[in-house]
C-alpha cells in the first residue's frame, strides 16, 4: 500500500554539512522538508521508491539493483557523510516485470547511488531497516513518463507493505521564475495539465524534476487526493519545490 508520496529538491546545499551558511535563505524549503521528515518519523515505511534523474539522460529508464545501496557526498566536499540502505529486490523485480514490455529499461548492478537519490534520502532521514528501490527517468516525454507511472502504480497498489514514493529534482536552473510559478500554480489548481508543458519550455528552463513528478502524479492518481505544495523558493538561482500527497 502507498503510505507516503512526495516531491523534494536535490541540491546538496540544502544539507547542513554543505550549505549551513545558506540556512536562512533556504528557510522555507528547510521547514517544509522538516515537516516531511517528522511525518516519516511518526509513520515509518517499509520501503522507499526513489524516482530520480540520472547523471545523463538517455532514451532508457533505469533501475538499480545491489545488495546494499551506498551514497556519499564526497563530490561536494563532505567526506564524512555516508548513506547505506538495503535494496528492495522483490519490489524492484516486480516493477521491472510490469514496465519492461512497454518501456526499455536499463538495469544497473552498481551499488553507488548518485546525489539525486542520496541527498533527498538524507534530507528526510531515511535509514535502515527501510529498503530502497531506485528508478531513473529518461529523455522521453512527460506523457510517456505518466504511462510509466501508471504501470508502476499497479505493482505498488498490490504490495501489502507500507511503501513510500519519493520523486526528486529541481525546477528551473536558468532563473526562469515564470516557469516555476506556472508549475506551482498548475499543481495547486489543475495538476493534470502539468503534462501539457512543452518540451521547448522544459529545455529552456533546464529543469530536472518534471519527469519524476509526472511519474509520481500518475502513481497517485487513483487515490483522488490532490497534491499539497508545502514550499517553493529560489533564493540562489535554482527553483526548490517541496510537495506531498496527504495520504
pLDDT one-digit tens code per residue, 47-67: 999 999 998 999 999 999 999
Query: 160-201, pLDDT tens digit by residue?
Result: 999 999 999 999 998 888 999 999 999 999 998 999 999 999
Alpha-carbon torsion angle 151, 155, 157, 159, nearest 10: -170
Closest by alpha carbon to 232, among 198, 207, 214?
207
Supply the pTM of this predicted model. Answer: 0.97
Confidence at residue 43, expressed as pLDDT on a 0 to 100 scale: 87
- Rounded distance, CA 83 to CA 25, Å? 26
- Rounded distance, CA 131 to CA 162, Å? 11
Mean pLDDT of 61-85: 97
Amino acid at each position: 500500500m502507498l503510505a507516503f508520496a512526495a516531491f523534494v529538491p536535490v541540491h546538496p546545499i540544502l544539507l547542513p554539512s554543505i550549505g549551513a551558511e545558506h540556512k536562512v535563505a533556504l528557510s522555507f524549503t528547510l521547514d517544509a522538508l522538516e515537516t516531511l521528515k517528522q511525518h516519516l518519523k511518526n509513520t515509518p515505511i517499509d520501503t522507499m521508491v526513489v524516482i530520480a534523474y540520472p547523471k545523463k539522460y538517455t532514451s532508457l529508464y533505469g533501475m538499480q539493483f545491489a545488495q546494499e545501496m551506498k551514497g556519499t557526498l564526497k563530490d561536494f566536499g563532505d567526506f564524512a557523510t555516508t548513506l547505506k540502505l538495503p535494496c528492495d529486490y522483490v519490489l524492484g523485480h516486480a516493477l521491472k516485470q510490469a514496465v519492461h514490455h512497454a518501456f526499455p529499461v536499463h538495469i544497473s548492478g552498481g551499488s553507488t547511488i548518485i546525489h539525486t537519490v542520496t541527498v533527498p534520502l538524507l534530507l528526510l532521514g531515511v535509514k535502515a531497516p527501510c529498503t530502497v528501490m531506485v528508478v531513473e527517468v529518461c529523455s522521453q516525454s512527460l506523457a510517456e513518463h505518466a504511462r510509466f507511472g501508471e504501470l508502476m502504480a499497479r505493482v505498488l497498489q498490490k504490495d501489502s507493505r507500507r511503501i513510500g514514493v519519493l520523486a526528486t529534482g529541481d525546477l528551473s536552473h536558468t532563473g526562469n521564475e515564470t516557469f516555476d510559478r506556472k508549475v506551482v500554480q498548475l499543481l495547486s489548481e489543475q495538476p493534470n495539465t502539468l503534462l501539457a508543458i512543452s518540451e521547448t519550455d522544459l529545455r529552456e528552463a533546464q529543469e530536472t524534476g518534471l519527469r519524476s513528478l509526472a511519474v509520481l502524479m500518475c502513481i497517485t492518481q487513483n487515490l483522488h487526493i490532490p497534491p499539497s505544495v508545502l514550499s517553493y523558493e529560489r533564493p540562489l538561482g535554482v527553483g526548490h519545490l517541496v510537495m506531498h500527497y496527504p495520504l
